[in-house]
Amino acid sequence: MRGRDSQRSRVYKSDKALVAIAKPLATMPEVERFVKRVFGMKRVADAFPRSRLPGWLPEVRDGRGRRKAGGCASYITMPLWSRNEAIVLHELAHTICQREHSDSTGHGWEYCAIYLTLVLHAMGREAHDVLKAAFKENRVRYTAPRKRKPMDPARKAELIERLAAYQSKANGPGG
């Protein structure tokens, strides 16, 4: 079951910085060539091995009749306004994320890590750094959450004692 997509608006806000420097892709054949080029990169194949299964290349659909671009595990849909490198990579990141992490949220940290990797390999270091800075500015998570170390039983007992002492002091005498 997927969780709530709590980063969606922040990711879209961050996208604006990348779209400003992205190259336009005027026609559907240009979008298809760009998708083939991205999925043909050895670094992309090495970074996302599950995405190279049979039928690995997502279908690129014309987005006529749609207002929004979209991406799923098997295809991306690109309306006329969305045909530039940044938005194609955004949708390809959805494709790869669904193939690699079937239980992740739409714009979760796994998705954002994939998006950053695709931008690095397809658009270069400068574009990657622009997107990463925008992610930081908009507080978008793109790394795995830190794992907490298990608490030492002696330390836990000490904290329980301190809490009990504080509560008895706060409640006052007789209470």
Provide the number of structural domains found in the chain.
Answer: 1
**pLDDT single digits (tens) 32-77:** 999 999 988 999 988 988 776 666 788 888 888 788 988 887 888 8
Give yes or no for a contact between 22 and 86, defined as CB atoms under 8 angstroms apart. yes
* Assessment of whether the complete model's pTM goes beyond 0.95: no
Q: Is residue 172 part of a domain?
A: no
Q: Is residue 159 part of a domain?
A: no
Q: Is residue 156 part of a domain?
A: no
Separation between Cα atoms, residue 53 and residue 51, nearest integer Å: 6
pLDDT level of residue 3 (50, 70, 90 thresholds) = low
Q: Is residue 2 part of a domain?
A: no
Separation between Cα atoms, residue 95 and residue 117, nearest integer Å: 14
Range of the domain at 95: 8-137
Q: Is residue 153 part of a domain?
A: no
